[in-house]
C-alpha cells in the first residue's frame, strides 16, 4: 500500500487554495504563518511561488480589505489544472471513482469539496482521497455515473 504524503507540494497547494478562498491571506508572511500552523514549513519564496502558480492576486475584496484572492479568469486556469489531473474515471451505484497521478488525489478532492460547498457540484455529498484515487459520493443511490459526468463537465476534462 502506498504511503500518503500529506506534506507534498500538491497537498500544500491545496491548503493554499483553501486559505485564500477562506479570506485568511493578506500577505505572503500570513501564508507562511498559516501553513506553519497546519504543519507545512515553507519559506516566503515558496509561498510567493505557490500564490503565483495558483493565480492568486493581491487586491481589495468586496468589503475593501486587501488580501489574496482568485479572480474570475483564474477559475478557468484552475479548471484546466484539474482537468489535467483526471487520468480516468469510472462509477458504480452512488460512487464516482477518479484516477489521478500519484500524490494528486488530495488536491483534486479538496477542489471538488469546495465545488460542493459553493454549489458548483450539486450532486455530490463529499469525497475521500487516497494517493492516486478520489472516491466521490453521490446524493442519489444510483447517481454515480451522472456524478462522474457532472465532474468531467465541471472541470472540462475529456477523458
- Per-residue pLDDT band at 155 (split at 50, 70, 90): confident
- Section 123-150 average pLDDT: 93
For 122, the enclosing helix (H) or strand (E) is none
Looking at residue 25, its pLDDT comes to 94
Cα–Cα distance between 110 and 132 in angstroms, integer?
Answer: 13
Q: Strands 66-70 and 56-60, how do they pair?
A: antiparallel
- Tell me the whole-structure pTM to 2 decimals: 0.55
- Section 48-60 average pLDDT: 84
Mean pLDDT over all residues of the chain? 83
Q: Strands 88-92 and 95-99, how do they pair?
A: antiparallel
What percentage of the chain exceeds 70 in pLDDT?
A: 87
Cα–Cα distance between 159 and 120 in angstroms, integer?
Answer: 20
- Section 33-37 average pLDDT: 93
Looking at residue 15, its pLDDT comes to 85
- Section 46-58 average pLDDT: 85
Answer for the pair 86, 100: CB distance below 8 angstroms, yes or no: yes
E-strand ranges in 5-119 read 56-60, 66-70, 88-92, 95-99
Cα–Cα distance between 32 and 50 in angstroms, integer?
Answer: 11
Whether pLDDT at 74 is above 50:
no
Amino acid at each position: 500500500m502506498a504511503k500518503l504524503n500529506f506534506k507534498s507540494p500538491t497537498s500544500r497547494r491545496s491548503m493554499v487554495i483553501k486559505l485564500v478562498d477562506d479570506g485568511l491571506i493578506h500577505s505572503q508572511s500570513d501564508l507562511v504563518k498559516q501553513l506553519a500552523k497546519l504543519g507545512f514549513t515553507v519559506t516566503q519564496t515558496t509561498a510567493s511561488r505557490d500564490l503565483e502558480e495558483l493565480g492568486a492576486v493581491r487586491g481589495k475584496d468586496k468589503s475593501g480589505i486587501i488580501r489574496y484572492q482568485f479572480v474570475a479568469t483564474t477559475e478557468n486556469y484552475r479548471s484546466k489544472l484539474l482537468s489535467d489531473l483526471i487520468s480516468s474515471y469510472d462509477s458504480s451505484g452512488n460512487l464516482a471513482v477518479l484516477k489521478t497521478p500519484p500524490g494528486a488525489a488530495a488536491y483534486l478532492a479538496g477542489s471538488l469539496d469546495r465545488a460542493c460547498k459553493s454549489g458548483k457540484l450539486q450532486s455530490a455529498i463529499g469525497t475521500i482521497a487516497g494517493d492516486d484515487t478520489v472516491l466521490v459520493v453521490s446524493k442519489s443511490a444510483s447517481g454515480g455515473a451522472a456524478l462522474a459526468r457532472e465532474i468531467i463537465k465541471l472541470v472540462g476534462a475529456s477523458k
